[in-house]
A and B are shown apart, each in its own frame.
Chain A
Amino acid sequence: MRPKFCTIVGLLVLLSLVLSACATPTPQVVRETVVVEKEKKVEVVQTQIVEKPVEKVVEKKVEVIVTPTPPAKPFEGVTVNILTFTGPQIAEPLQRRGPDFTKLTGAKINVIVVPFSDLYQKILTDFATKTNAYDAVVFAPQWMVDYIVPGYLEDLTPRVNADKDIQWEDIAPFFRDFSATFQGKIYTIPLDGDFQMVYYRTDLLDKAGLRPPETWDDYLYIAKAFHGRDLNGDNTPDYGSCISKKRGAQAYWMIWSVAAAFLQAKGTSEGSFFDLDTFKPLTDNEAFAAALDVYKETTKYGPPDELNLDVGDTRSLFTAGRCALSLDWGDIGTLAIDPETSKVKDKTGAVILPGTTKVLDRKTGKLVPCDQNTCPYAINGVNHAPFAAYGGWSGAINVGAKPKTKDAAYAFLSYMSQPAQANVDVTIGKTGFNPYRTSQFLNREQWVKAGMSPAAAANYLGAIEASLASPNMVLDLRIPQNQRYQQVVLDKAISQFLAGEITRDQCMKQITDGWEEITNELGRDKQKAAYLGSLGVQK
């Protein structure tokens, strides 16, 4: 008994001694350039990883046989490995259109899928370790800063400029100029448009003589009016508002959809997360407090287990007719017309995110009423700020891929985004693609063909148009390690606030302190530069 205890303690001590003696990253990674700088006793070790030839996931079929029409099939023999998450959404259209593209150009499209929840780390690990198993990725552009800053993504600007077929001007300005672009360069090709809207039951509101919510007060009023009433004829009480508030899911976008209108009023480049000068978070002021109050109050009119619902649950509740209102991305529109899932076909309306009549004055941290100066883009005195949460799935190209493969990958992404393909795909619920091109919501024919009634199509596309046309659209947070700001700090604080673990003021303080801590850790100047870069602000 005795020697054992000692020896194990001894072993641990020895181990730690060995480690403290070296205190440097471990061997196998590092190969070539190792720069050791000393700065104020902090050792900075920069590790450079050597690029290594790595076997490709799919063997290349090098055609030795004659290629009869080389100009017609420019990418004969090229295989493009594209990583995205397991579908059917997003992956399905890529897989379906891959063979067509092969017929056109000869390039083989190989779609590799991983579970959605782990896509971000999987991409980053592959790029950072230079494994380069993927030539292109289809991902949420919110993450792109983490890939662009270290230089993992190919700059697509010259390719896009030279490409007529993609009809770049047809893409809605927000997605073109903000979502796909970082510091003036184009890095991604939009395949999907993501922003949040409020959905409501047209039949219920008509009957009650109510208008769709314009402000968050309207939203609460409507939710309260319908909460506890039977909304789908099954004699059980239903809910006024269903919002996904589960921790570790989408809750941190939902709160921002509520908060956005309070925080941002002067156009996309004003940003809604940080002060542009000091880079202090905008989360400890009257505006954010008001948003938190609204958010918490919606819980009163929600299902009892709303704190544990993710969007899958709220969507199924809404399409089962159990909610009067819901807050979601464009998906409900297409799900509602799917007879396999929906009981609310042609009873679903969409509207731009409700706004506010008071907005944040950034100097004082107080709420001030909307006027021509404070809310230049207000409609009927209400400041709307549609939140482009997540940003919409987009394709990007790995800078480490072979030149020919890059060309083929770009050609494929462009092909997917061209109106001939995209305008059909966005009307199919299964693809998970939502509209992002002007031609997609101006031309309603495709939607009626997909099963929407003309009135519903007009309503749904009208809401999309109103959102996309808004110059005050809110860009999601795009700074290095934004996942830590949102998924760790914001998400946890909001969840604790809703669960009653902390008060509103504690919640605001916790978010602000948490964000400041990460900012200080990663370098305020770097983070600020990235933030301004994502908003297209030149300073």
Chain B
Amino acid sequence: MDRVRAALERWAGHAFLWPVVLVVLFLSIFPLLLSLYLSLARLQFVPGGFQLTFIGLNNYRKLFLGSEQVHFLGLAGQPSLIGWAIFGLGVALLAWTLVSYARGQRATVGGVVGRGLAAVIGSLILLMLVRTLAPGGRPGTITVTLIYVFVDLTIQYLLGLGLALLCTQRLPGRRFFRVVFLLPMMITPVGVAYMFRMLADTTKGPFKPIWGALGLYNVSWVNDPWGARAAVMIGDIWQWTPFMFIVLLAALEGQSVEQVEAATVDGANSWQIFRHITLPEILPVSTTLILIRMIEAFKIVDLPNVLTNGGPGTATESLTLQAYINWRTLDLGGASAVAYVLLFLVTFLAMTYVNVIRRRLVET
């Protein structure tokens, strides 16, 4: 009996982890490989089934160099001096980080190469942003997706944190607010998208009188690329702020009161308390939250799909929507190629994020 217990005890670590690894492996390996192969192939339906023809990197070439280039990467404009200045600054910053790492104590060859690669990819992304957002340019689906992610995450985090702080106060009725603030997250994303389409309708939606009072009867947000993008982002912020809110709330509620009490006794003001006690406590959770939301936000599809279907033109089309449109017409190769570019982009950003920000903030 004791031997059994001892064995169980010894294997505890494995018992805790392995079920998860197995479930995830079962569901991920085969789809990952098959869709990678699909991205290198062309699907055709032939008598008796279907046929996959291996075509190498053609699907990717189409995206980066071929007929989808403008759609995918965007149309380059003529950046102003400010644009170039931003780009220069960004590249300089990346280079400086790389150099200071290389001269540091713990540098290794692999580390330098890895960081060098990261710096190059980072500069290329920056170059694409600067050029397609410049006057005369037109952002492609990558840029649009990056804009969505960046703007949404920032606003959602700040809003979520603010609301969570408000809700930790001992206010009568705070439980009502807590439940209400959770509501948007609980609606199915497709439903949220249709709801916003109702709200954003300028001919029969609820804001028609306001719209009219502003003298905008003959103007619609859908005709303006940034108006349409803003509508998509408002919907996303509305839906996902609760996610930030509830996790931060749980984190804030979990923090120990004693430290705060002690600080108050020492005469610290509330900003100091937040800065030196609360913030460090919620940092680990915050970085996780942002990582999870970042990964999810890159997959934004329902809102642009229902609200505008990517229009006007291609203004609101996200990467996942581009993949979805290809997939809907069973161009599985094209869809998988877009998805794999997304996979590499997000993996790159997530790894950079984890390496640079999360470790620095959390693990020191």
Contacts and interface: CB of A to CB of B under 8 A. Distances in A.
Interface of A: 1-2, 4-6, 8-9, 12, 19, 23-26, 28, 42-49, 117-118, 120-121, 124, 128, 130, 146, 149-151, 236-237, 246-249, 303-305, 307-308, 313, 316-317, 322, 480-481, 483-484, 487-488, 492, 495-496, 498-502, 513-514, 517, 521-522
B305 interface: yes
8 contacts: A2-B111, A5-B110, A19-B37, A249-B309, A307-B222, A308-B228, A484-B329, A487-B328
A247 B42 CA distance: 26
A130 B37 CA distance: 21
A25 B34 contact: yes
A47 B313 contact: no
B329 A481 contact: yes
Contacts of B110: 2, 5-6
A121 B30 CA distance: 21
B45 interface: yes
A1 B353 CA distance: 12
* Among all A-B residue pairs, the 9 with the closest Cβ atoms: A248-B309, A499-B313, A499-B312, A247-B311, A305-B220, A483-B329, A308-B222, A501-B313, A304-B220
B255 interface: no
A529 to B, nearest CB: 14
A249 B110 CA distance: 50
Interface in B29-83: 30, 33-34, 36-37, 40-42, 44-55, 66-67, 71
B351 A8 contact: yes
Contacts of B36: 19
A142 to B, nearest CB: 12
B202 A305 contact: yes
Contacts of B52: 25, 45, 47
Given A128-B49, A150-B50, A483-B329, 11 more contacts: A2-B106, A5-B114, A19-B33, A26-B37, A42-B54, A47-B51, A120-B328, A308-B311, A501-B312, A513-B67, A514-B67
Contact of B37 (A1, A25, A483, A514): A25
Interface string B105-144: 0101011001101000000000000000000001000000
A237 B215 CA distance: 13
B308 interface: yes
A382 to B, nearest CB: 33
B92 interface: no
Given A498-B312, A501-B313, A124 B330 contact: yes
Interface residues of B, number: 65
A187 B359 CA distance: 63
A150 B47 CA distance: 4
Contacts of B33: 19, 26
A124 B315 CA distance: 31
B185 to A, nearest CB: 23
Given A495-B313, A499-B312, A1 B355 contact: yes
Interface in B294-332: 305, 307-315, 325-331
B69 to A, nearest CB: 12
B305 A248 contact: yes
Contacts of B117: 9
A305 B216 CA distance: 12
Nearest to A151: B47
A42 B106 CA distance: 47
Contacts of A307: 220, 222-223, 311-312
A305 to B, nearest CB: 4
B166 interface: no
B43 to A, nearest CB: 9
A496 B203 contact: no
A532 to B, nearest CB: 19
A149 B47 CA distance: 7
A480 B314 CA distance: 26
A491 B237 CA distance: 29
Contact of A49 (B49, B347, B359): B49
A384 B172 CA distance: 71
A39 to B, nearest CB: 10
A4 B108 CA distance: 12
B54 A23 contact: yes
Contacts of B138: 501
B329 A487 contact: yes
A120 B330 CA distance: 9
A491 B163 CA distance: 42
Contacts of B48: 48, 150-151
Given A481-B329, A514-B67, A237 B50 contact: no
A492 B314 contact: yes
Contacts of B114: 5-6, 9
Given A5-B351, A247-B308, A495-B311, A305 B49 contact: no
Contacts of A9: 114, 117
Nearest to A514: B67
Contact of B49 (A48, A120, A492, A495): A48
Given A150-B46, A151-B47, A121 B223 contact: no
A481 B330 contact: yes
Contacts of B225: 499
